[in-house]
Amino acid sequence: DIQMTQSPSTLSASVGDTITITCRASQSISNCLAWHQQKPGEAPKVLIFQASNLESGVPSRFSGSGYGTEFTLTISSLQPDDFATYYCQQYSSYLRTFGQGTKVEI
């Protein structure tokens, strides 16, 4: 199984900050990497696929980058609606695996 490791697990930030979350894969996954956002009591939703492609309707302050084993999610000018938990997820094999999540809190 491909292991996905996110850091940090928790991130404290303020409205207007720029934050970066890192995701590392245990082996190369090319650009087969997605990011999901989950708010308390809600299902996750897809933010980014193919490492850097924004899902339709996702604000441009979200951006993703990376290839191989190291990936980042950057949120510029953090907004109140962005305080949530973020998960990376690989789809390089049939057994999709997720990172443990990064909680972005005020």
Partner 1 sequence: EVQLVESGGGLVQPGGSLRLSCSASGFTFRSHSVYWVRQSPGKGLEYVSGINGRQNVINYADSVKGRFTISRDNSKNTLFLQMSSLRAEDTAIYYCLKARYTDYESVDYPPFDHWGQGALVTVSS
Would you say 51 or 75 has its CB closer to partner 1? 51
Please tell me whether residue 93 binds partner 1 under the rule CB under 8 A.
yes
One of 11, 19, 49, 64 touching partner 1 (CB under 8 A): 49
Which residue's structure tokens are 């956002």? 37
CA distances from 44 to 27, 34, 58 (A): 25, 12, 13
Q: What CA–CA distances, in Å, run from 92 to 12, 45, 47, 80, 86?
A: 31, 19, 18, 33, 19
Among 55, 69, 76, 103, binds partner 1 (CB under 8 A): 55
Does residue number 96 form part of the binding site for partner 1 (CB under 8 A)? yes
Task: Enter the tokens of residue 17.
Answer: 């900050």
Binding residues vs partner 1 (CB under 8 A): 32, 34, 36, 43-46, 49-50, 55, 87, 89, 91-98, 100-101
